[in-house]
Amino acid sequence: MPRHGGFKVAGVAGALAGALAIAACGATSASSTAGAATGGSGASKGGALEVAIFHAYSGPNAAYGPEAAAGCYPAERLINAAGGILGHQLACTPVDSKGDPADAVPAANRMIAASSSLVGVLGGGSDTATSVVPLFEQAQIPVFSTTGQSAFDRTGDSYFWRILSPDAAQGSAMAAAAKKLGFTRVAALFGNDSAAQGSAPTAISGVRRLGLSLVANQTLAVGQTSYRSEAQALSTAKPQAIVTEADPQTSATYFSELSQIGQVPALITDPVSQEPTWRKAMGGAIGTGLLDRQDYAVVAYSPTTAPAYKVYTAALLASAKQVPQPSQWDSDLYSVADYDSVIVMALAMDAAHSTKPSVYNGYISKVTAPSAGATVVHTYAAGKAALAAGKSIQYVGAVGPLDFNQWHNAGNQFAIERYSGGNWAVSSVLSAAEISAASGS
């Protein structure tokens, strides 16, 4: 999946704009308390536990931080409303990785050193994961990452967890969507950054494997001021659809020039196209009406009618103070996955009777895996109550069941979504057989 992706630990109140400023400041912990909680974690008795939102809040991928915050704060709200975790309140903490390993590594090191109450991390996107995940592994802090990099498909990092499918599956799903939509002449257009290149190989191989004609295959150097020669070459190839992923600036520059040269064909995009910054840039480049007509977003899918999804939506909409315009994230599966990640960490702490990361990490699979006699729960409150009653549980989250494999990966379905009337809606769901045909598996 194409991601996802100065330090100061901030308080949980305050709008996201404040969080952005806080994240850029020096390293200071919001929790002045130190010492050990139940089982010997990094918070003193009654002190707040911190989950870091370690994502880009600045730079080309500055939407990643707010996107993850839209998952963390609703989870925080529900956990604290249910009495917290083993006597501790939970605090979501924004930390700006800037989407660059050169900045992310020192920021992660400062965060680990400064916060005595850090119990988990959301982050390590595709632009920084290979650099920072080893740091969290060494510090024995669970990290729920949205990176799609293949390096983590069979990782030996015991503190790494991934809820959404990897980039390889995303690329295959995009190719399957092109086939399902009836296109026969397809172009591939991807940025040269690690986020976009994660899904590019399987998207391209999938197009070919499905018998579609790959009429153009372009890799863009991101951040250029013009791509006119590339746009001209693609226009000459006359594709019916473009399978594409690039950052907002690169996409807007390219498609603005393509629209000046000729027709913009159908766009088969990934979750990046659902981010407000991408839509704003692209809408300004080619017009929002044309964008809405031509864009088909291929995204991880979970029915919004699922019990846990309804709970997430309600908590998200109630979190407007921390998440400006919260409804824009309701259909974003990255936000939803981050919500589930925080709930899972909290339930694992309850099950372990410990907030110590090195202890509760071993309980993450235990509260999510299907097992005989397990009580299925969809909320933190229900899971907490069941565990307190001595029951084993299976948390089925807003993204669906979370059955982690031995490498701590849990996959999910994909769907084609369209934007209309201010909202994203599923137009069709891609079957496992359709994606398998594209991947060759």
299 contacts 274 by C-beta, under 8 angstroms: yes
Q: What percent of the chain has a predicted confidence (pLDDT) above 70?
A: 89
Question: Stretch 107-111: mean pLDDT, rounded?
Answer: 96
- Entry pTM: 0.70
Beta strands 213-220 and 49-55 are: unpaired
pLDDT: which is higher, 405 or 385: 385
Question: Stretch 222-229: mean pLDDT, rounded?
Answer: 97
pLDDT: which is higher, 198 or 287: 287
188 contacts 244 by C-beta, under 8 angstroms: yes
Q: What is the pLDDT of residues 231-258, one digit of tens each?
A: 999 999 999 999 999 999 999 999 999 9
Question: Stretch 197-204: mean pLDDT, rounded?
Answer: 92
The dihedral built from the CA positions of residue 211, 212, 216 and 220, taken in this order, carries a sign that is negative
Query: In the structure, what pLDDT confidence band is assigned to residue 174 with cuts at 50, 70 and 90?
Result: very high
Give the bridge partners for 144, in sequence order: 122, 161
Query: In the structure, what pLDDT confidence band is assigned to residue 85 with cuts at 50, 70 and 90?
Result: very high
Q: How many CB atoms lie within 10 A of CB 131?
A: 16
Query: In the structure, what pLDDT confidence band is assigned to residue 12 with cuts at 50, 70 and 90?
Result: very low
Question: Stretch 413-432: mean pLDDT, rounded?
Answer: 90
Res 45: pLDDT: 53
Beta strands 393-397 and 423-430 are: unpaired
- Residue 23's closest CA among 64, 68, 55? 55
How far is Cα 120 from Cα 235, in angstroms, rounded to an integer? 47
Q: What is the pLDDT of residues 306-337, one digit of tens each?
A: 899 999 999 999 999 999 999 999 988 889 99
Where are the alpha helices (H) located in 183-263, listed in sequence order?
194-197, 200-209, 228-237, 248-261
Res 43: pLDDT: 54
Structure tokens at 260: 């000046």
Rank 97-101, 126-130, 210-214, 410-414 by mean pLDDT and report only the highest: 210-214
Res 19: pLDDT: 35
Mean per-residue pLDDT of the chain: 88
Residue with tokens 């740091």: 135
